[in-house]
Amino acid sequence: MKYISTRGQAPELGFEEVMLTGLASDGGLYVPKKLPQFSVNDIRCLKGLDYPALAVEIIRPFVDGFLSEERLVQIVEQAYSPFRHKAVAPMVQLDSNEWVMELFHGPTLAFKDFALQLLGPLVNEALERRSEKAVILGATSGDTGSAAIEGCRACEHVDIFIMHPHNRVSEVQRRQMTTVIADNVHNIALEGSFDDCQALVKASFADQSFLEDGRRLIAVNSINWARIMAQIVYYFHAALSLGAPERELSFSVPTGNFGDIFAGYIARGMGLPIKQLIVATNSNNILHRFFANNSYTQQQLLPTLSPSMDIMISSNFERLLFNIQDRDGKKLKALMDKFDSTGSIAINPDRWKLARNVFVSDDSSDEDVISTIRQVFDDCGGYLLDPHTAIGVKAARACRADKSTPVVTLATAHPLKFPEPVIRAGLQEPPLPSWLADLHKRPEHYDVLANDKTVLHDYIRQTLAL
């Protein structure tokens, strides 16, 4: 399979290069040149497969030319073996024709494990074949960092450096990163904000001279195509368990950078009968404003009870814009340039209406989150939602076209990761599971660094030389 850049000026690449490259050289994002198609009969043949076997079937066409069937099976089975639920992504029913799919049974209790458990070994495989070593450098406000660390801790060809803003992530989130003791895992608490962390990552990609021995620098943020690819699988998993291909369904997706829901859009493009994709946002609702009013306009960041969705702009949204603008790289580049200079764009109204045939949206305040958690707890036998999932459930109920089509909300995190809204809903904070019970006693490893590029680069160089 070949991949092209959304801005039309970068070379076409195969899967391996796309995965190792991240951002395209023209500033765009890579997308498949042509999507693999699954006919009704193809989808029927997927019924009854367990999660790893299904993942192999869905992923195979995307990694064509990179992995043998045998190796793909091995890597996928290993990636999902640490999940603590046999079904990997179990479905829970809330009401008639209303479901949540629990995506939080991986090692770090959030859906990002689905992609990062796979990405680490895939990157490692590519590096091994090339006899190369790489540095993964990332910034995190919470869930991504721990999932990336868990995904890479066993990868011999990778050193991973994750920066989090010092004293500004929750204790559970910090400990999930800093208690991983492995020679190739390096945690940095940066004296600055999450934006400062991100700015340093960006500056490091722009000037890689600090990596003297020709090591490659790799990004694992959600613009990496391999992450989207891994997330397509669970849309098929949910649809098959609710009667696809004979029956269509809708999804409600708690959305920040638009990576997770974009994977659903790809699944639909591959032939999965998805009726609606419901974009569920918090008060950082740039996407809701786009789908409601055709205005994609940047605003101030508002801290919320659902911090993993606190974004000002959605990095993967460019991939959707590319599709709805005729996949014309020139047009898209002009549009993104306009957004960069003015902070606001609208698209051709006919195109916008077409997008609205698939996407609908909703936003939730912190008060909505608390009341949805309480309501579902009371109505569903004490079932506890995390704040991100609560936003999804509220949106599913507000936006679904009809009650005869099943709607599935993606449960993106375990409620114990975000206790504050649970407590504010008047409920008991859930305990840590037994395998994490000693998290608060485990020794932590991290270094506090000044918010300075030279300091960071010296630190990375010295750490690699040890």
Ligand X SMILES: *Cc1c(COP(=O)(O)O)cnc(C)c1O
Residue of 33, 112, 202, 353 with catalytic role: 112
Q: What's the closest the beta carbon of residue 260 comes to ligand X, in angstroms?
A: 4
Q: Which of 259, 271, 329, 406 binds ligand X (CB under 6 A)?
A: 259
Q: Is 112 among the catalytic positions?
A: yes
Count the site residues for ligand X by CB under 6 A.
Answer: 16
> Any residues with CB less than 8 A from the CB of 55 and at least 6 apart, and which?
76, 80, 230, 233
The answer to whether 100 and 410 have CB atoms below 8 angstroms apart is yes
Question: How big is the chain by its Cα radius of gyration, in Å?
Answer: 21
Tokens of 257: 């950078």
Site track for ligand X across 404-423, x = CB under 6 A: --------xx----------
The answer to whether 316 and 259 have CB atoms below 8 angstroms apart is yes
Q: What's the closest the beta carbon of residue 136 comes to ligand X, in angstroms?
A: 17
Q: Quick check: 283 binds ligand X (CB under 6 A)? A: no
- The angle that helices 387-399 and 366-379 make with each other, rounded to 10 degrees, is 80
Which span sits near ligand X by CB under 6 A: 133-141, 173-181, 195-203, 250-258?
Answer: 250-258
Distance of CA 315 to the CA centre of its chain: 11
Q: What's the closest the beta carbon of residue 200 comes to ligand X, in angstroms?
A: 20
Q: Which of 309, 384, 396, 422 binds ligand X (CB under 6 A)?
A: 309
For ligand X, the closer of residues 165 and 259 by Cβ is 259
Tokens of 192: 């600055």
Q: What's the closest the beta carbon of residue 222 comes to ligand X, in angstroms?
A: 5
Concatenating the DSSP letter of every residue in 147-198 gives: HHHHHHTT-TTEEEEEEEETT-S-HHHHHHHHT---TTEEEEEEES-HHHHH
> Any residues with CB less than 8 A from the CB of 428 and at least 6 apart, and which?
422
Q: Quick check: 256 binds ligand X (CB under 6 A)? A: yes
Q: What's the closest the beta carbon of residue 461 comes to ligand X, in angstroms?
A: 30
What is the C-alpha to C-alpha distance for residues 246 and 57, in angstroms, rounded to an integer?
19
For ligand X, the closer of residues 179 and 221 by Cβ is 221
| DSSP single-letter state for residue 115 | H
What is the C-alpha to C-alpha distance for residues 311 and 180, in angstroms, rounded to an integer?
27
Pairing of strands 98-102, 91-95: antiparallel
For ligand X, the closer of residues 165 and 254 by Cβ is 254
What is the C-alpha to C-alpha distance for residues 462 and 458, in angstroms, rounded to an integer?
6
Which span sits near ligand X by CB under 6 A: 113-121, 239-247, 256-264, 421-429?
Answer: 256-264
Q: Quick check: 173 binds ligand X (CB under 6 A)? A: no
For ligand X, the closer of residues 184 and 412 by Cβ is 412
Q: What's the closest the beta carbon of residue 414 comes to ligand X, in angstroms?
A: 9
Q: Quick check: 220 binds ligand X (CB under 6 A)? A: no
Which span sits near ligand X by CB under 6 A: 170-178, 203-211, 237-245, 255-263?
Answer: 255-263
User: Shortest CA distance to 407 belongs to which of 214, 242, 218?
Assistant: 242
Site track for ligand X across 127-146, x = CB under 6 A: ----------------x---
Binding site for ligand X (CB under 6 A): 110, 112, 143, 222, 254-260, 308-309, 388, 412-413
Q: Please identify every residue annotated as catalytic.
A: 112
